[in-house]
């Protein structure tokens, strides 16, 4: 039995090259003009990540700065929950990029990474979260370019993919949108490309339907909130466990070759 209840989600396009105070102020200005929604999805500013990657800040200092920032974000958005990323998380000798729930800091999605001159890796585990009655799967950075990650999400019952793709990678904006369209069409799911901009670079923010058609796209250096409404389903897509295991194996192989 299916239901057509609508779930509203706010997708924030933001200037990711500003300081944290200006960043939070911009979110607040946008939030007061927007309608209440079930969830907000936001990219994080790049300065804390760059400070950590360059060695200007320790991991502990970086984590405290991000925790303070996400707490402020959860207080100003006009929604029940907020999801932000990417956030660097370390467990022992392993490093991950994650999407986290802003208020609690709990991980929603995790991408195993190796980094030197660039980030490499793929989602290693089920990255789904339920918003209303919509199953959402979060992808991080270049995951949207790999069919295996999107298929893993689809086989796990997701009807919406959110690709968190801030402008820290040297990617062709048109190629990013094309990848989102292909992932939507081949898996029959809606896709949100969560981009952002800095002074000299921009990644589009785009909303793509299941059939691969683009509903909305913004690539200009302007901040705004795009509100989308999804008709959730009370029954998830039937899961083929053997197919899920196949894509888990494929993703592990991709990780092992990311050197």
pLDDT at 4 over 70: no
Query: What's the whole-number mean pLDDT along residues 212-221?
Result: 95
Residues making up the chain, counted from first to last? 259
Domain span at residue 92 reads 6-257
Q: Is 243 among the domain residues? A: yes
C-alpha span between 184 and 193 (Å, rounded): 11
Please indicate, yes or no, if residue 1 is contained in any of the structural domains. Answer: no
Which is more confident, 3 or 201?
201
Residue 104 lies in a domain: yes
How many domains, the chain? 1
pLDDT reading at 248 higher than 50 = yes
Quick one: which of 150, 159, 164 has its CA closest to 13? 164
Rounded Cα distance between 90 and 120, Å, is 15
pLDDT tens, position by position, 90-110: 888 788 889 999 999 988 887
Report the CATH number at residue 78: 3.60.110.10
pTM above 0.85, yes or no: yes
Q: What is the mean pLDDT of residues 77-83?
A: 94
Q: What is the percent of the chain with per-residue pLDDT over 90, rounded to a whole number? A: 58
Q: What angle do CA 31, 197, 80 make, to 5 degrees?
A: 25
pLDDT above 60 for 55: yes
Domain annotation covers residue 166: yes
236: pLDDT strictly greater than 60: no
Distance, CA of 191 to CA of 214 (rounded, Å): 9
Per cent of the chain over pLDDT 70 is 82
| C-alpha count within 13 angstroms, C-beta hemisphere, residue 179 | 26
pLDDT at 1: 40
For residue 235, pLDDT over 50 is answered with: no
pLDDT, tens digit, for every residue of 104-144?
Answer: 998 888 777 766 655 666 665 666 889 988 999 999 888 89
For the residues 29-40, what does the mean pLDDT come to?
Answer: 94
Looking at residue 15, what DSSP letter applies?
Answer: B
């Amino acid at each position: 039995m299916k239901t057509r209840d609508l779930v509203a989600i706010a997708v924030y396009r933001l200037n990711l090259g500003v300081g944290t105070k200006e960043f939070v102020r911009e979110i607040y200005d946008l939030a007061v003009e927007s309608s209440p929604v079930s969830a907000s999805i936001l990219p994080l500013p790049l300065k804390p990540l760059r400070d950590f990657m360059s060695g200007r800040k320790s991991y502990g200092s970086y984590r405290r700065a991000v925790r303070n920032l996400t707490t402020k974000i959860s207080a100003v958005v006009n929604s029940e929950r907020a999801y932000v990323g990417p956030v660097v998380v370390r467990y022992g000798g392993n490093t991950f990029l994650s999407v986290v729930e802003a208020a609690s800091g709990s991980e929603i999605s995790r991408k195993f990474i190796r980094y030197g001159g660039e980030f490499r890796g793929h989602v290693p585990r089920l990255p789904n979260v339920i918003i209303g009655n919509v199953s959402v799967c979060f992808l991080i950075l270049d995951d949207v370019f790999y069919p295996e990650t999107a298929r893993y999400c689809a086989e796990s019952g997701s009807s919406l993919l959110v690709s968190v793709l801030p402008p820290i990678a040297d990617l062709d904006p048109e190629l990013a949108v094309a990848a989102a369209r292909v992932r939507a069409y081949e898996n029959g799911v809606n896709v949100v490309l969560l981009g952002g901009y800095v002074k000299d670079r921009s990644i589009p923010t785009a909303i793509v339907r299941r059939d691969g058609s683009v509903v909305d796209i913004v690539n200009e250096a302007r901040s705004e909130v795009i509100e989308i409404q999804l008709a959730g389903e009370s029954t998830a897509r039937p899961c083929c466990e053997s197919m899920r295991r196949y894509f888990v194996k494929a993703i592990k192989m991709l990780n092992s070759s990311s050197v």
